[in-house]
Amino acid sequence: MQNEDAYLTRKRIMLVDDEPGLLRMLETILSQAGFDAVISFGDPREALAYCESASGQANPAHLLVLDVMMPGMDGFALLSRVRKIGCYARTPAMFLTAKDEPRDRLSGLGLGADDYISKPFLPQELTLRIKAVLRRCYADENPMLELAACRVDLSNAEVLREDGSSCMLTAKEHEILSVLARNAGRIVTIDSICDACWGTTFGYENSLMAHIRRLREKIEADPSSPVSLVTVKGLGYKLVEGERS
């Protein structure tokens, strides 16, 4: 359970609530529960602007926790707008609100929310229900890759280098690396990668090569002599875990 909790608490949580005191309390509860990547907004319009600016990233947030009654834009409207942003189309969401009417629950769940928690709440109940949503939504994810020159946290789309530095993967880099990770140690053909990442086997070979080159710059000690993301001439690519040159 401790290892599982460590995996869950690496997820990035976005909180949106217009009550400053409650927002600070939520931050404290999540920090004490081990969540170290929390993004907070007191204004739903600022939260929406952040989501729109992060649209080119992979997993800019893994769970949205939204208040319903907010000035300017309520939580239902915010989630509806956020759901139109590609990288948030499937991000799980929870409503945290004082409203407890059946029709409000149905409205939230109808928008694709994964849970609905009424105020007041117990801190332990909040963290347990957040972990339950994360566990359900990310159950099949392989969160960490051990490569020759780095570790890759796929759940956060982050490359952690041996020198202590880090960098983020783009959405497409994350998608390509995830395909290779699911087939680690095996050759994945160019057609298979293109089909998985672009939905077609035609016209994206050059784009794939460009993304592979940038991926190597992030994960390899020497991108010109790769040992983790290797080319299999005439066939495709193979991801090699845990080996050093």
CATH number at 187 reads 1.10.10.10
Could you tell me if residue 113 is inside a domain?
yes
Q: In this predicted structure, what is the pLDDT of residue 142?
A: 52
Domain containing 96: what range? Answer: 2-137
Q: d(Cα 92, Cα 82) in Å, to the nearest integer?
A: 11
Could you tell me if residue 66 is inside a domain?
yes
- Residue 121 and residue 158 in one domain: no
Which tokens in the block code for residue 151?
A: 């570790």
Name which of 123, 157, 116, 134 is nearest 27 in CA terms.
123
- Residue 149 and residue 218 in one domain: yes
- Residue 127 and residue 168 in one domain: no
- Residue 23 and residue 49 in one domain: yes
DSSP H/E element including 32: helix 20-32
Q: In this predicted structure, what is the pLDDT of residue 2?
A: 41
pLDDT by 10s per residue, the chain, length 245? 344 466 678 788 999 999 999 999 999 999 999 998 899 999 999 999 998 887 555 557 889 999 988 999 999 999 999 988 877 888 899 998 776 666 666 676 677 788 888 888 999 999 999 998 988 887 655 568 889 999 998 878 899 998 889 999 998 999 999 889 888 888 999 999 998 888 888 889 999 999 999 999 999 999 999 999 999 998 999 999 875 44
DSSP summary character for residue 57: B
Domain count, the chain: 2
Give the end of a domain, one of 79, 111, 137: 137
- Residue 7 and residue 125 in one domain: yes
Could you tell me if residue 244 is inside a domain?
no
Q: How many CB atoms lie within 10 A of CB 228?
A: 26
- Residue 97 and residue 153 in one domain: no
Q: In this predicted structure, what is the pLDDT of residue 223?
A: 96
Could you tell me if residue 245 is inside a domain?
no
Residue ranges with strand state E in the chain: 13-16, 38-41, 63-66, 93-97, 115-118, 144-146, 150-153, 158-161, 166-168, 188-189, 229-232, 236-239
